[in-house]
Each structure stands twice: as C-alpha cells, then as structure tokens.
Amino acid sequence: MADTLDLRRALMQCGECKQRFGADATFCPFDGAKLESTVWDPAGDPLIGRVIDGRYEVMGVLGEGGMGTVYRVRHTALDRMFAMKALRRDLARDPDLCARFMREARATAIVKHPNIVAITDFGRLEGDVPYFVMEQLVGDTLARTIKNGGPIPAALGVKIVLQIAGALGAAHDAKIVHRDLKPDNVFLVGRPDNDGTSARSAAWSTPEVDVRVVDFGASMILGASRTTKTGIVFGTPHYMSPEQASGQPVDHRADIYALGIIMYEMFTGRVPFIADTYMGVLTQHMFVKPVPPSQVSEHARALGALEDVLLKTLEKKPEHRYASMQALAEDIQRVSSFAADGTLLVTKQGEAMSVASRPVFAMANQLEPPTREEVNASRTGTTVRRRRTRARAWVLYGAVALGVATVVLGLERWITSRATDGASPAPVAHAPSAAAAPPPPPMTLAATVTPPPVASVAPPPTPPTLPRPRTRSTSSAAPSAAPKKPAPPMGTDFADPWAK
C-alpha cells in the first residue's frame, strides 16, 4: 500500500494523445481510445527536492492522473506531511481551466465533512500552474481494494456506502456535484507506521473503516479542456450516468447513479456494463438493464432487500432514482441493521423493514443494534397494519360478491320476462277447426334457452289471404292430415295450443 493515490510505476497511456492515467483506467477521457500499459519513473520529476512558496518541501511523487500530479510534501514550519496536487502543465496554459481548477478547489474546501478530503491551502507554481494542498491520506483506494481482495463483505460495504452518501449529501447541499465518482476517488484510510510510511490496511476484511472522497469537480475541469475530442463526453465511462453519457444536463442524481455502480462492483467484484469500446459502455448505460447482482455473484445472494435499493439507484431516468443521498441512506438503514457482534442483519427481498431507522449521516461505525423496545414496537405496528389490510380485503370481497349477485339476478329476470312475452301465441282468425286450449303456463329458464320445435298448422281453405302465425312455418301436408304432436323438452309440461 502507498500514500494517498499510491505510487504507481505501472500506468496506462493513450496511444493517440500520449496522456498517462492510473493503472485502473481503461479508456482515454480525451479521445475515447483504449489505453495501453506503460512504465513510469517519477524519480525525474523536476519538483522533487524543491521548496514551494517557502513552506512546502516536495518529498516525492505519489501518483499521476488525468488532471495532474500528486506530490508528497512536508510543511517546513509545522513539520507535517501533506499531499499537494498540481494541475497538468498543458492544461495550465488555458486560463479558463486554471480558474475553474481553483474555483472547484475552493468550493470543496468550504464543505466540512469528515468523509471529504480536507483542503488546507492554495497557490501557484512557476509557469502560473495552480496547485492545492490537502491532508495526506494513508491507506488504499477502493478500486485497488476490490482488485486485490475481490468483492467487499456486505457489512463493510454498507458502512462504506453510508459514509460516501454522507459526504456527497453534504456536497450536494452546498450545490457541488462530484460528476466523476468512482472507486479510484474513494479512499479507505489505514494506519500509519511510526516512521510515517504507510502500512498495509486490513480495512477490507474488518467491519471498521474510515472513508474519504476526493477529486470533486475533476470532470468539469477536464471536460472543458480543448484537448477533448469533439463528441466525447468526459468522464469515466463505467460509472457514468445515462444522462451524462448522452450529453444531457447533469445534477446530483448522476452521483446517485455512480454510487449505485460502486455498490454493484463492491458486492460482485465487477461493474455491470463492460464493452471493448468507450461508446459501447455508454450505450449500455443508456439502453441496457443491469443484471441483478444476485445473478452475477454468490457473494451478492445474501444482500436481500439491499439489492432492491441498489437497483433503484441504477434507474435510467433520474426521476426514478432516489431524490437525494439522504433518501438513499434512509432506505439502506430501513432494510439493514447491525447486531451487537457487528453482524449485518438484512431484511428479506420484498419485505418491509423490521427495525426503526437510524440517524442518516451518523458515522457508520457507530451504528447500534435495535433495542428490544424498538423491535416490539415495530412488530406491534406490523400486526396492526396486517389486520387493517385484511379487514379492507374482506370489505372489498363482500362488495364484489354483492355486485355480481345483483347482476346475475337482474339478468335472469330479464331473460324470463323476454321468454314469457315471446311464448304468447298470436290469435288465428277464421280457424273454426282449432280447438280452444287453456293458456300455456309460464316458461321456465330451461325452456327459454332451447325452445322446442313446434309443428305448423295447415292454413284454412278460405280466405286464402289470411295471415299466418309469425312463429310457425306452413306445411305442405293436406288439411285433413293431423300433424304429429311434438314431444315436450325436458323441464316443460305445457300443452301446445296449436295441437289438434
């Protein structure tokens, strides 16, 4: 492990613009080209051994990135170690970028939060190159922790996310959006040795961790650079929100999406979207739905309801995500809690919370297990809600049953009345041979559904123009031939009024 951003001799370099980036970078943010491995020897840096502004002695190089170089410096008067970040000299030639660099640094320094790196001083090097001084961080980046140790244990991951959410929530309240949140910009603070050098941190395997978020505003500075190729949206593509990938306006909800990607990588060991090209990754962010973590890694199967929280942060539309970092932290605390021995207790997926929520931005290491009174109160409230839900369900079922019965009875009455009206025979004029018969009894429902065939009555010889019954067809048989009497259908016992 090394200080602050780590001493990396193995870097990545762009074959087109020749810019160098960290070992975990994949694509060049200036032209989108895929990076290649290279070797970098920081010993020849001209600033090493010099004293800046009469008070900062440059002891060595800690790292190099897209925005500039980070040096390890000693304050000559205080005899304390700090980290100094200087803007790249090619970018420093642009006065607008220099002004933006200083403005973002001052804005970050205003935000006071224990999980945001503390910026203590500003200044300019020879050639009008701006720099700022920040606290020296001893530990490892979250990116290298995942790379070296694999997926983060769920208990540690929850505490890391809560601290990141607290830091970004404070920045958002100050109208500052990070825009380039990624594991490289999340630092896990370790323990220094007596000589001031860094020691291998065991933070990834222990439930205790102290987080610092660094590099606020870097994407705004580099994205405004004239060296960025037209059509390339600046930022790290694997953690870029869909609106940022498509060039739309970006607000604090882009940081919520990026934190969701970090959660996904912590619990599975990989990012959700991978492609061979810069634009291939951005296209997936805009149009492809992420595979749930539980289907990617066995370590993520124990997330329970935390998976629902994670997937909500990765919604394509900003309005479908959490409205704030505070809302995200509250949901995490609703579905998870810590036992007395530090074990993480997670609500099952799809179930309501079973413990009372905690203060949102308290230090994650100070979370306490729920008390017996809190658990009992939660169970009582759950029982009352279930009873109310059941009572409402029974009322709804009764109303539906009553409505169905009313419709069925009304339909049966209507069918019966229509059948009775249709069964009344029309009187036959001038038919003295037709014997008078009593009126038929009311037809039943079965008779009306399937009316029986009835034989027709032969028309009288005179007058030939007499009307015949509309419901009976004429027969070609002789008048003296008596028609056969049809057998009544089952369920009826009425006599045929036309039978002779």
Rounded Cα distance between 354 and 336, Å, is 9
- Give the model confidence (pLDDT) of 147-160 as tens digits: 998 999 999 999 99
Q: Does position 132 have pLDDT exceeding 70, yes or no?
A: yes
Q: What pLDDT score was predicted for residue 3?
A: 44
- The larger pLDDT score, comparing residue 384 to residue 309, is at 309
With DSSP H G I counted as helix, E B as strand and the rest as coil, what are the percentages for the chain, rounded to 5? 35, 15, 45
Q: Does position 434 have pLDDT exceeding 50, yes or no?
A: no
Q: What pLDDT score was predicted for residue 129?
A: 93
- Give the model confidence (pLDDT) of 299-357 as tens digits: 899 999 999 999 999 999 999 999 999 999 999 999 999 998 888 999 988 764 433 33
Side chain identity at 7, as an amino acid letter? L
Q: How much is the average pLDDT of 193-219? A: 60
Rounded Cα distance between 303 and 293, Å, is 9
Tokens at 273, concatenated: 């979207």
Tokens at 424, concatenated: 């009344």
Q: Are 151 and 266 in contact (CB under 8 A)?
A: yes
| pLDDT category of residue 231 using cuts at 50, 70 and 90 | very low
CATH architecture of 10-378: Orthogonal Bundle (1.10)
Q: What pLDDT score was predicted for residue 95?
A: 86
- 351-360 contact pairs (CB < 8 A, 24+): 351/305, 352/382, 353/378, 354/378, 354/379, 354/382, 357/330, 357/333, 358/333, 360/166, 360/169, 360/326, 360/329, 360/330, 360/333
Q: What pLDDT score was predicted for residue 360?
A: 39
Residue 118 φ/ψ, nearest 5 degrees = -85, 125
Please give the biggest Cα pair distance in the chain: 139
Domain ranges of the chain: 10-378
Rounded Cα distance between 323 and 245, Å, is 20
Q: Which residues pair with 211 in a beta bridge?
A: 188
Q: How many CB atoms lie within 10 A of CB 258?
A: 27
- The larger pLDDT score, comparing residue 469 to residue 249, is at 249
User: Residue 58: in which H helix or E strand, if any?
Assistant: strand 56-64
| pLDDT category of residue 203 using cuts at 50, 70 and 90 | very low
Q: What pLDDT score was predicted for residue 283?
A: 94
Residue with tokens 């900003």: 318
- 54-58, 97-101, 295-299, range with the lowest pLDDT: 97-101
Q: What is the mean pLDDT of the chain?
A: 76
Q: How many CB atoms lie within 10 A of CB 20?
A: 19
Tokens at 162, concatenated: 């809560």
Q: How much is the average pLDDT of 252-273? A: 97
- Give the model confidence (pLDDT) of 73-89 as tens digits: 999 999 999 999 998 88
Of 364, 359, 312, the closest CA to residue 334 belongs to 359
pLDDT > 70: what percent of the chain?
Answer: 63
Q: Does position 188 have pLDDT exceeding 60, yes or no?
A: yes
> What letter would DSSP give residue 324?
S
Q: How much is the average pLDDT of 397-426? A: 76
Q: What pLDDT score was predicted for residue 402?
A: 84
| pLDDT category of residue 15 using cuts at 50, 70 and 90 | confident
Residue with tokens 């002004």: 99
Q: Are 82 and 56 in contact (CB under 8 A)?
A: yes
Q: Which range has the top average pLDDT, 11-20, 268-277, 363-372, 388-397?
A: 268-277
The model carries a pTM of 0.64
| pLDDT category of residue 34 using cuts at 50, 70 and 90 | confident
Q: Does position 93 have pLDDT exceeding 70, yes or no?
A: yes
Q: How much is the average pLDDT of 105-112? A: 86
Kindly tell me the burial class for residue 388, based on how many C-beta atoms sit within 10 Å of its own C-beta (0-12, 13-18, 19 or more): exposed
Q: How much is the average pLDDT of 375-386? A: 57
Rounded Cα distance between 122 and 135, Å, is 13
Give the residue numbers annotated as catalytic, written as ranges.
180
List of residues 6+ apart from 344 with CB closer than 8 A: 154, 155, 158, 336, 337, 338
- The larger pLDDT score, comparing residue 100 to residue 265, is at 265
| pLDDT category of residue 484 using cuts at 50, 70 and 90 | low
